[in-house]
Amino acid sequence: MKSIWHSTQLLSPYPSLPGSIRTEAAVIGGGLAGILTAYYLTRSGIQTTILEARRIGSGQTSGTTAKITAQHNLIYQKLITCFGEGDARMYASANQQAIKEYSRLIHSHSIDCDFREASACLYTRSAGDSLQQEYKAASRLGIPARLSTDTELPFPVRNALYFPHQAQFHPLKFLKAITKGLTIYENTPVLSVKGHQIHTSLGDVTARHIIFACHYPFLLWPGLYFARMYQSRSYCLSLAGIPSLQDMYLGIDPGGLSFRSAGNRLLLGGCSHRTGIIPDNPYQRLQNFVHKYYPTAKTVSHWSAQDCMPLDQVPYIGPFSFLEPDWYVITGFGKWGMTTSMVAAQLISRKICKKPVPWESVFTPRRIKLKASWKEAITHLSESSRGLALGLIHPDRRCSHMGCRLKWNPHECTWECPCHGSRFSHQGKLLSGPAQTSVSIPSK
């Protein structure tokens, strides 16, 4: 189940950590956010080392639909209401600036990564004024936007909200280009971090600055990120035989789907669910849609991806905790990791280089926004408590992170943690964290 990105771009391997080393900055995680952060730090003259548990770009970066956009579902009306207009304006500015920076970087370095400008569109097939409200919020914040009922979709819509001058690209082609000249160690999982010391099975890394860009922070303390996020899985089909779309689309209704073209393929995504809360076959649901609306299309490949969902919808980017002033965190992208990776890289690199950071307050991990997060917090607490209780009652098949009872996902053939989203193979091999070790799965 390789994504279209993995199928069309191979990345050269990097060595494992050769032993204990010293470096000015260490980035834990070799996805797009970690690589971009290392790129900007290195260009600023700071010796930076990337530690990747598997292969660079092998996580969410390879599973994304690769939209570079400031249109993050219905976000701006909520931000104005719950964060205030000032923070909402900074959020919009940071993401719009990220799109411009991608364009500048790609064009100035002549990076061949299928980068193309396109509009991003939210659509609804139902009655309601949510898109009208989002349009007013976006306009209030200075985001160019327009409402329409015209789309390229194979069904009529009630309303559609377009943000022009957004973009899309091939994330692994981009990643390959910007890793040149960076110090990267693959197959080097981090086991623990204490102060300025990073411990791996291959040696210790001593660093002045430590950046956690490993998707979901694996430490329980400090930070308590396990109580502030959950993970969500979504699914994607790559389809042939469909005319290319000029723009990118996302449905805001329950069960709404994502559409974008990549060359001569259409990427159809959706069926999101909390990891560990297993739905009906998501791939079949997507295929049913294809059979109805694209009867001549051929499914070329399918895959799934996983995102960290912050309870108030805003990523955590900045100092990890006041207890560790030289640690930084990048997490909680909430399905918008391509744009937010650039926001994070610029914010963290500026912070370390002691440059002005104009968007720091909206993304700070130290924020408390109860108005924006209390409903999600109750749901997260309920699901986590249930998973932990079942883990105590049935001690077999427990997650190695905090002991929650694992659930079997027959559509992915994986064991999944409903509390914090760790995933394991049929035999119990660790596939993704925050768990750090594999588990023992009793035979039936």
Kindly report the CATH number assigned to the domain that includes residue 378: 2.102.10.10
Residue 59: C-alpha distances to residues 6, 29, 52, 132, 412 (Å): 11, 10, 10, 35, 15
Element (H, E) at 118: strand 116-124
Distance CA 184, CA 58 (A): 14
Looking at the fold, whether 319 and 428 belong to one and the same domain comes out as no
Q: Which two tokens stand for residue 123?
A: 């659509």
Looking at the fold, whether 184 and 210 belong to one and the same domain comes out as yes
Inside any domain, residue 149: no
- Partners of 240 in beta bridges: 298
Inside any domain, residue 46: yes
Q: Which two tokens stand for residue 64?
A: 């994304």
Inside any domain, residue 443: no
Looking at the fold, whether 363 and 376 belong to one and the same domain comes out as no
- pLDDT the model gives residue 444: 57
Q: Which two tokens stand for residue 225?
A: 């990120």
Looking at the fold, whether 348 and 392 belong to one and the same domain comes out as no
Looking at the fold, whether 318 and 417 belong to one and the same domain comes out as no
Q: Which two tokens stand for residue 254?
A: 């329950």
- pLDDT the model gives residue 377: 84
Looking at the fold, whether 362 and 378 belong to one and the same domain comes out as no
Looking at the fold, whether 220 and 320 belong to one and the same domain comes out as yes
Q: Which two tokens stand for residue 365?
A: 């991990």
DSSP letter at 303?
E
How many beta carbons lie within 10 A of that of residue 52, not counting itself?
Answer: 27
Residue 278: C-alpha distances to residues 1, 165, 234, 238, 422 (Å): 19, 37, 11, 22, 14
Distance CA 320, CA 184 (A): 22
Sign of CA dihedral 245, 290, 339, 70: positive
Looking at the fold, whether 359 and 379 belong to one and the same domain comes out as no
Q: Which two tokens stand for residue 7?
A: 């199928």
pTM (two decimals): 0.94
Inside any domain, residue 148: no
Q: Which domain holds residue 402?
A: 371-432
Inside any domain, residue 71: no
- pLDDT the model gives residue 429: 93
- Partners of 206 in beta bridges: 22, 197
Q: Which two tokens stand for residue 115?
A: 């980068």
Strands 407-409 and 414-416: antiparallel
Looking at the fold, whether 58 and 13 belong to one and the same domain comes out as yes
Distance CA 34, CA 46 (A): 15
**Total of domains in the chain:** 2
DSSP 337-394: HHHHHHHHHHHHHHHHTT---TTHHHH-TT---HHHHHHHHHHHHHHHHHHHHHHHHS
> Of the residues 367, 385, 410, which one is the last residue of a structural domain?
367
Backbone phi, then psi, for 382, in 5-degree steps?
Answer: -65, -50
Inside any domain, residue 41: yes
Residue with tokens 């939210």: 122
Distance CA 163, CA 250 (A): 12
Distance CA 316, CA 334 (A): 10
> Of the residues 367, 386, 411, which one is the last residue of a structural domain?
367
> Of the residues 349, 367, 385, which one is the last residue of a structural domain?
367
Looking at the fold, whether 341 and 392 belong to one and the same domain comes out as no
Sign of CA dihedral 363, 366, 367, 370: positive
Looking at the fold, whether 57 and 8 belong to one and the same domain comes out as yes
Distance CA 188, CA 320 (A): 22
Q: Which two tokens stand for residue 273?
A: 């669910």
Distance CA 263, CA 283 (A): 22
pLDDT tens track, the chain, 444 positions: 789 999 899 899 999 999 999 999 999 999 999 999 999 999 999 999 999 999 999 988 999 999 999 999 999 999 999 999 999 999 999 999 999 999 999 999 999 999 999 999 999 999 889 999 999 999 999 999 999 999 999 999 999 999 999 999 999 999 999 999 999 999 999 999 999 999 999 999 999 999 999 999 999 888 899 889 999 999 999 999 999 999 999 999 999 999 999 999 999 999 999 998 888 899 999 999 999 999 999 999 999 999 999 999 999 999 999 899 999 999 999 999 999 999 999 999 999 999 998 899 999 999 988 777 878 888 888 888 888 888 888 888 899 999 999 999 999 899 999 999 999 999 999 998 899 999 988 765
Residue pair 150/162 in contact (Cβ under 8 Å)? The answer is: no
334 CA to centre of own chain: 6
- pLDDT the model gives residue 386: 87
Inside any domain, residue 287: no
Q: Which two tokens stand for residue 304?
A: 């799934």
SS3 state at 259: strand
CATH of the domain at 26: 3.50.50.60
Residue 328: C-alpha distances to residues 26, 27, 56, 211, 222 (Å): 10, 9, 20, 5, 12
How many beta carbons lie within 10 A of that of residue 138, not counting itself?
Answer: 22
Looking at the fold, whether 396 and 381 belong to one and the same domain comes out as yes
